[in-house]
Amino acid sequence: MIGGGVMGEALLSRLVAEQVFEPGAITVGEPQAERRTTLAHQYGVVATADNQQVLSQAEVVLLAVKPQNLAAVAADLEQAASHGSPLLLSILAGIPLSNLQAIVPNWPVIRAMPNTPATVGAGMTVLAPGQGVQPHHLAQARRIFQTVGQVLEVPESLMDAVTGLSGSGPGYVAIMIEALADGGVAAGLPRTVALQLALQTVRGTAELLLAKEWHPAMLKDRVTSPGGTTIAGIAQLEQAGIRSALIEAVRTAAQRSRDLGG
Ligand SMILES: NC(=O)C1=CN([C@@H]2O[C@H](COP(=O)(O)OP(=O)(O)OC[C@H]3O[C@@H](n4cnc5c(N)ncnc54)[C@H](OP(=O)(O)O)[C@@H]3O)[C@@H](O)[C@H]2O)C=CC1
Ligand SMILES: O=C(O)[C@@H]1CCC=N1
């Protein structure tokens, strides 16, 4: 793994907990000494400041640096490109397969977009395979990302939209949960009670829709008693433009993903 930050750790923690890899078989390249110590102590992985140590014997390389750091890592990848041809899994938002393949022309490359619920095995990862990716490479990528949740495959042309929805989505939902709890506090609930209610309401709604395979509108209709509380709340949400706000959030994030790719 190159880049042991938030998302790298989220994936690492599950891969070790689910025993997909022996901790000692994982080497993480990470420039921050403090992060290296944390990752090595907490998960038993090898952590190094030298990316060549990561790349020298790797079968799978998981690229988890910020897109803005790709240029720095490209030099390491180019240097390693002549030894072997490991599977490269890139989770970098917005970086197209063509950019990665230009750096390591002989390596199979899969662009992946996971999300932070991966930390608890409830992630959503979408994969887009590059040229030269064989079925066994895809199977390996699926095995890795299935450890952290659901996996779906799409053509690369959809990956920026995926990034704007499921990649960034946990941020939007977290704000919704925080705001719901604030609403509960404004209506007189203690903070801890309000947060528990908001969290379980969001989880329960998602679980109900998944279990029953209902259209979301059907659930909305079932909650809204005529002249009741829910329709009064929904009228307020519509007036504030909640649908438009969420649609534009996904569209703007997708555009930002395109922009990161240059
Ligand atoms: N966070 C998320 O929810 C998701 C993130 N992603 C993608 O994952 C990637 C990482 O994001 P995130 O974990 O949030 O970011 P972080 O900044 O938390 O993690 C990136 C890590 O890589 C380190 N790094 C920087 N340069 C190098 C280098 N040359 N070699 C090795 N490591 C280096 C950084 O160190 P330093 O801080 O010192 O620069 C940092 O610790 C991004 O490309 C993002 O698009 C994808 C899906 C979801
Ligand atoms: O905000 C970001 O750029 C990353 C990619 C998707 C989620 N976090």
ipTM of the complex: 0.98
| Confidence band for 84, pLDDT divided at 50, 70 and 90 | confident
Q: Is the pLDDT of residue 262 over 90?
A: no
Which ligand is located closest to the Cα atom of residue 72? Answer: 1
CATH architecture group of domain 168-261: Orthogonal Bundle (1.10)
4 annotated binding-site participant: yes
Whole-number percent of the chain with pLDDT over 90: 97
pLDDT of 244 higher than 90: yes
Q: Whole-number mean pLDDT of the chain?
A: 96
3-state per-residue secondary structure call for 155-218: CHHHHHHHHHHHHCHHHHHHHHHHHHHHHHHHCCCCHHHHHHHHHHHHHHHHHHHHHHCCCHHH
Q: Which of 165, 163, 171 is nearest to 258 (CA)?
A: 163
Arithmetic mean of pLDDT, 49-67: 95
Q: Where are the domains of the chain?
A: 6-154, 168-261
Hey, what CATH topology would domain 6-154 get? Answer: Rossmann fold (3.40.50)
pLDDT confidence bin for 57, thresholds 50/70/90: confident
For ligand 2, atom 3: residue with the closest CA: 93
Tell me what the mean pLDDT of segment 124-143 comes to: 96
130 in contact with ligand 2, CB cutoff 6 A: no
For residues 117-128, average pLDDT = 96
C-alpha distances (whole Å) from 79 to each of 47, 75, 148, 150, 165 are: 20, 6, 31, 34, 35
Q: Is 5 annotated as contributing to ligand binding?
A: yes
Give the mean pLDDT of 163-177.
98
Question: Ligand 2 pocket, 123 CB below 6 A?
Answer: no
CA of 245 to the centre of ligand 2 (A): 18
Ligand 1 atom closest to Cα of residue 76: 29
Atom 19 of ligand 1, residue of closest alpha carbon: 5
Confidence class for position 253, pLDDT limits 50, 70, 90? very high
Output the CA 248–ligand 1 centroid distance in Å: 25
* pLDDT value of position 211: 98
pTM higher than the cut 0.80 = yes
Identical fold between 6-154 and 168-261: no
pLDDT category at 81 given cuts 50, 70, 90 is confident
Average pLDDT over residues 58-87: 94
Ligand approaching nearest to the C-alpha of 125: 1
Give 193 Cα–ligand 2 centroid separation in angstroms.
30
Centroid of ligand 1 to alpha carbon of 114 (angstroms): 13
